[in-house]
Amino acid sequence: MGEGDENLKLFGYKKIPIRTYLFYILSVLSLGSFRLLCHWKVDWLLYFRARKSSLEDADYILVIDEHQTESVREVRTLRNENGMAMPRADGLMDTVKGMRFGHMSLGLLHDIADENECGLNSDELAYRKATFGPNLIDVKLRPIWLLLFKEAISPFYIFQVFSVTVWFIDGYVYYAGVIVAISVISIVIDVCQIRSQEKKLRAMVHSTEMVNVIRNGGEIHNVSSMHLVPGDVLVIPRHGCVLPCDVALLNGTVIVSEAMLTGESVPVTKVAVSVHDSERSIHFDLETHAKHVLFCGTNVLQTRYYAGHHVKAVVLRTAFSTLKGQLVRSIMYPKPIDFRFTRDLFKFVGFLSCLACVGFVFTIVVMSLRGAEVGTIVIRALDIITIVVPPALPAAMSIGIIAANLRLRKKHIFCISPSVINTCGATNVVCFDKTGTLTEDGLDFHRARALMKRSMGKLPLFTPETATLEGGTHGELIKAIACCHSLTRIDGVLTGDPLDLILFEQTRWSLTEGADGMAEDENYDSIQPMLLRPPNLHPTYGGCTVLRQFPFSSSLQRMSVIVQAPHEADSAHDMTLYVKGSPEMIRSLCHPETIPMDFDDVIAGYARHGFRIIAVAKADVELTYAKAHKVPREEVEHDLELLGVIVLENRIKPETTGVIEQLTKADIRSIMVTGDNLLTATSVARESLILNPTKKVYALEHTHEKDEHGRTELVLRLEFDPTEGGGGGGHMNGGNGNGSIGGNMGIRLLGSKSGKDVERASSPVASIAARYQMIITGPTFAVLTHEYPELLDLLVCSCAVFARMSPDQKQALIHHLQAIDYTVVMCGDGANDCAALKAAHAGISLSEAEASIAAPFTSRTANIACVPAVIAEGRAALVTSFGVFQYMAGYSMTQFMTVLFLYTMPTNLVDLQFLYIDFFLITMVAMCFGSTHPCRKLSMQAPPTRLLSLPTIISVFGQLAIIFIVQTVVFFWTEQQIWYPGFIQEEGNDETPSYEGTALFIVTGFQYMTLAVAYSKGAPFRKGLLSNKLMCGCLGLTFFVHLAISIFTDNVVSDWVHAGLSLKPIPTGSVLVLLAFAAVSAIVGLVFEKIIVAKVYEHVRRTRRAARARRDPSLASTAFERLLLQSGDSPSWVYTAAADPPASPTAAADAAAMTSSMDTVIVEPFSLQEGIANPQTVVEEKA
């Protein structure tokens, strides 16, 4: 099932009564354990209760989303009141109540003005209410007891319940009580956080208000917004409101603020669907027709229409189907984080569980042979499981994340998903938006250049630059700038796009609404016009009235207005069309005779210096007033006369260059993803050092021509060559002299001096990094996506600038980077970046708009300095998690060895010894691991992300081998001493104090401290251990306390402590020997970890890995490394791939064949008129 960007797999299951009865019996007999397992394993739940069936016969539906998350939903049936009796094959009668959804050939709004004039009738309203439900984005506040219950039945807490149960039975009540207290506090904190987030989200989205809607023959009804359904005709109040649903504007003009959804604070003008659009047989598309659509949650600032007439809109989508609802849904159900570290953690816990089973069996065998009681055997065997798999492990693993989150908050960086912090530590590419992120939000007017007409037959010339907009040769350009905008007055304040505001203020014209106080019905049968007047110092240019506005469209790259200037004495036309937009678009619409010869050079010169350029043009149009309000823009926006260009400056933020340089030194790629012009984006990328000045830069473009395979021809341009000071400007002659390479391959190379620039590299690169960089635009990216998908992986590995990218393309780029094993951080200001922020492994929003709640991180400091801070904290948290894991694993295995040694006697550590070790030696120290701050500078070396990598395994098992050898020596050395009297077990006491236990207790105490020091890693990701004063103090305290317990005897305090810990008195000389054993263990362990593992082995491993990758690129560890090794010294892979014929387009058929065995429901975009699904789907319900 595909719905928008969602892909769901649906499987039907039919309930089997006998299986259901057995399921409940097993659940009762197992005291709920079986039901709990089925809760964790959804497929078991279905297997034990139902069998697979078609969707038509199903009682349950198994839903698998795009993240492979499974959920089960019970089928509910809605029945009509009246049905029709139909005979069955066996002669019996069934009451069939069916609804047919048929595909209708509707236009964008097929006769919508007529069909919606009277609104819905009562029958249709009831039907749609049953189909679509209430118009309510209902974020339900789940009961506290339910939240507590769901938290408590997670596998982690269930294992803790099992552990503390064993401990309580065994009389180990102190630590069990501590674990219970920690677990309860943790559950309460988690529930409070969930509850708080639900309340915040509910407060943000939950709103109902009374609205006016047209129904039942044109009557206006005042109803609650929750009763709106698709197809309702909504009356929009004149003085604004907050839209309760997605609607299409039927008449008038509406100014809305879409900040809630896009983060963009600039008001947007929405226009009604014109008659011309209604006549087209095209399907509704949100992006294409966004200028007609008002989205749920947006704030209507002002409406305009005929005097005495209502502004009407038809409801398109309601509740969670709206754009706002989809955003809320993405927040409620975020994308699962697929992080290798987490997967490895579960694998290692599985390994520990297997080891625990071995210990379980060993304990049973040993104690059975010694004739122990059955109850004691069971308790001791279960106790082994709680030792090998420490219940405190998950809590300990979050220590680094909690500490990093607290440090980020102090830097005004707030995280709503702390688990993402560890993921940030693995970041190797950061995507940046440009405007508002790398550069300042505001634009400054820089220069204007008008055109000076020349004699007949000669092309016009650009006038010299001017820093002010004054009269003379700039008069017509000034008038166009003063008229062509979307500004309006709201409560007397001029409001609109900042760019329009800047330019309008430069002209010093004034804006009033209304035509000299004339009544609207005197001369105008239309909306109240806008009047623009020049200042006194421009008396030669009269005022003008804006009659029609064609709003800015990103796909069209322009906006335009139709104005009337009745006071112009020399007016030879009725009306004038003024157009402004991107230079390339305006040039394509202008008459060639109005374009200066040096137009391209002037535009390129400004763009290379980072300026934003706007071209302005006009056309004289012969239109009546009525036609001016109905004519489609395509009929008037052609054969324009270029008036000049406006140059604006978009300054880079002071922090930008330093941050990019810091990321580059840390071997983290920086990519610019922007909707701005390619030349402007390239200039900013050079200035901010995203484009490396030492590397060649190639621009990949496309033409409108086709190659021999029918694919769009690509053009490869050498944009910059550091060895030549820049790129060339002409076609390269490659063998056949026609500007193409290798025959008719569909690729042309521009701007190079010789064919050697694009020769395939003869040998792999010395390091895994691209030798060149590429730049591309959104349209070309779309061509590659659809026609050259085999090039995308190599492109995203080497491309540094993606310009003219739409929000969907930004999101697609993030997915492509993730597909080749990049860990991606996206940083944007919230405007058009929401999809990419959600798609990335971690999104950092520089805006506090509501949409940014979907990004895990929000920085209150609106610059990219937060990016290295987040990455540094992520690296520190990741290294801390590694260290804590190794420490906890080493601790559990060390204690496991000690207990197994003592079980052979048989005896065990007493409860206070366990408490002393578990709480004082382990828990206190583990809590301090996260207090080590990250290094100030990002290291070029990336932190490890594989928990089960060979270095980690060697480290853990190497330390355990050292500990095992020392414990073995201590155990048997103790039994060989002269003062050793032998072990005599006290009757009925399986924890009889022993000299072996005392000796092991003394030595292992120092071994635990050694593990803490060994796994508290410092540079290059964290500061040194000595910088962590809390941990140093804690280690110092534990060291001196344990040393005192070991050495001091023959005094009241030591006797009391020894009695409490059940320690046997060992002669001082032997204690010193035991301390020597501990010292040897510590020295060998630290040397092994700090030198052998950290230095020697890592150096050998990296050297061998790099050499192996150079010999065979397929052996590189990640997909992007393999691609970089294949990319060579130049993008020759572009024309090489283009020479090959395209793959047969059978992917869709293959995909269909793969899913032919399961029922599939396809949901296409619904039409505006029907508001329901288009495909021909029949749903029958039988009573």
User: Quick check: 555 pLDDT over 50?
Assistant: yes
| Half-sphere CA count of 1111, side-chain side, radius 13 A | 6
Instruction: Based on the fold, state whether residues 698 and 723 are members of the same structural domain.
Output: yes
Instruction: Based on the fold, state whether residues 709 and 625 are members of the same structural domain.
Output: no
Pick left, alpha or beta for residue 846 (phi over 0 → left; psi -120 to 50 → alpha; otherwise beta).
alpha
User: Quick check: 1131 pLDDT over 90?
Assistant: no
pLDDT at 44: 82
User: Quick check: 30 pLDDT over 90?
Assistant: no
In a domain, 910, yes or no: yes
End position of a domain, from candidates 1054, 1081, 1105:
1105
Residue 1163 has a CB neighbour count (10 Å cut-off) of 16
Whole-angstrom Cα distance, residue 458 to residue 575?
27
728-779 per-position pLDDT tens digit: 433 332 333 333 333 333 444 444 433 333 333 333 333 466 788 999 998 8
Least confident of 270-274, 336-340, 599-603: 336-340
User: What would the DSSP string read from start to end of 241-293?
Assistant: EE-SSEEEE-SSEEEEE-HHHH---S-EEEEPPPHHHHTS-----TTTTGGGE
Q: Of 268, 263, 265, 324, whose CA–CA distance to 300 is shortest?
A: 268
pLDDT band at 6 (very low <50, low <70, confident <90, very high): low
Instruction: Based on the fold, state whether residues 584 and 710 are members of the same structural domain.
Output: no
In a domain, 1171, yes or no: no
Residue 1047 has a CB neighbour count (10 Å cut-off) of 13
Q: Per the structure block, which two tokens stand in for 669?
A: 């790629």
Least confident of 2-16, 777-791, 876-890: 2-16
Average of per-residue pLDDT across 45-53 = 84
pLDDT at 260: 64
User: Quick check: 1172 pLDDT over 70?
Assistant: no
pLDDT at 530: 78
In a domain, 267, yes or no: no
Q: Where are the alpha helices (DSSP H) in 947-988?
A: 950-975
Which residue range is the domain that position 1065 belongs to? 380-411+871-1105
**Cβ 435 vs Cβ 650: under 8 Å:** yes
User: Quick check: 967 pLDDT over 50?
Assistant: yes
Average of per-residue pLDDT across 468-491 = 79
Q: Which of 386-400, 647-661, 730-744 ranks highest by mean pLDDT? A: 647-661
Higher pLDDT, 90 or 219: 219
Instruction: Based on the fold, state whether residues 818 and 918 are members of the same structural domain.
Output: no
Q: Per the structure block, which two tokens stand in for 556?
A: 């069209």
Whole-angstrom Cα distance, residue 426 to residue 823?
6
Average of per-residue pLDDT across 204-208 = 76
Angstrom distances, CA of residue 417 to CA of 197, 334, 643, 855, 857: 11, 10, 52, 9, 8
Instruction: Based on the fold, state whether residues 523 and 619 are members of the same structural domain.
Output: yes
Whole-angstrom Cα distance, residue 633 to residue 101?
36
pLDDT band at 1180 (very low <50, low <70, confident <90, very high): very low
Decide if 570 is catalytic: no
User: Quick check: 433 pLDDT over 70?
Assistant: yes
DSSP 590: B
pLDDT band at 948 (very low <50, low <70, confident <90, very high): confident
Check 170, 246, 383, 433 and give the catalytic one. 433
Q: Per the structure block, which two tokens stand in for 576?
A: 């004038």
Least confident of 62-66, 163-167, 420-424: 62-66
Instruction: Based on the fold, state whether residues 464 and 384 are members of the same structural domain.
Output: no
Beta bridge partners of 561: 549, 578
**CB-based contacts of 656, cutoff 8 Å, min separation 6:** 438, 439, 688, 863, 864
End position of a domain, from candidates 869, 886, 918:
869
Strand pairing report for 772-777 and 799-803: parallel
Instruction: Based on the fold, state whether residues 750 and 829 are members of the same structural domain.
Output: yes
pLDDT band at 348 (very low <50, low <70, confident <90, very high): confident
Instruction: Based on the fold, state whether residues 605 and 679 are members of the same structural domain.
Output: no
pLDDT band at 1159 (very low <50, low <70, confident <90, very high): very low
Strand pairing report for 712-720 and 747-750: parallel
pLDDT at 329: 77
pLDDT band at 1168 (very low <50, low <70, confident <90, very high): very low
In a domain, 966, yes or no: yes
Number of domains within the chain: 4
In a domain, 174, yes or no: yes
| Half-sphere CA count of 823, side-chain side, radius 13 A | 25
Instruction: Based on the fold, state whether residues 549 and 525 are members of the same structural domain.
Output: yes
Higher pLDDT, 747 or 1052: 1052
Residue 667 φ then ψ, to 5°: 60, 35
pLDDT band at 1139 (very low <50, low <70, confident <90, very high): low
User: Quick check: 703 pLDDT over 50?
Assistant: yes
pLDDT at 574: 72
Angstrom distances, CA of residue 1173 to CA of 113, 327, 1084, 1166, 1177: 21, 21, 71, 5, 9
Instruction: Based on the fold, state whether residues 880 and 1009 are members of the same structural domain.
Output: yes
Whole-angstrom Cα distance, residue 859 to residue 850?
14
Instruction: Based on the fold, state whether residues 826 and 859 are members of the same structural domain.
Output: yes
| Half-sphere CA count of 835, side-chain side, radius 13 A | 16
pLDDT at 1007: 95
Q: For residue 481, give the CATH number of its domain.
A: 3.40.1110.10
In a domain, 1138, yes or no: no
Q: What pTM did the predictor assign? A: 0.74
End position of a domain, from candidates 852, 869, 886:
869
Beta bridge partners of 314: 233, 248
Higher pLDDT, 67 or 810: 810
Instruction: Based on the fold, state whether residues 548 and 468 are members of the same structural domain.
Output: yes
610-634 per-position pLDDT tens digit: 687 899 999 988 888 778 878 888 8
User: What would the DSSP string read from start to end of 707-758?
Assistant: -TTSPEEEEEEEEE-TTTTS---SB--BBSSSSBBSSSSSEEEES-SSGGGG
Whole-angstrom Cα distance, residue 190 to residue 185?
9
pLDDT band at 722 (very low <50, low <70, confident <90, very high): confident
CA dihedral 948, 951, 953, 954 (to 10 degrees): 170
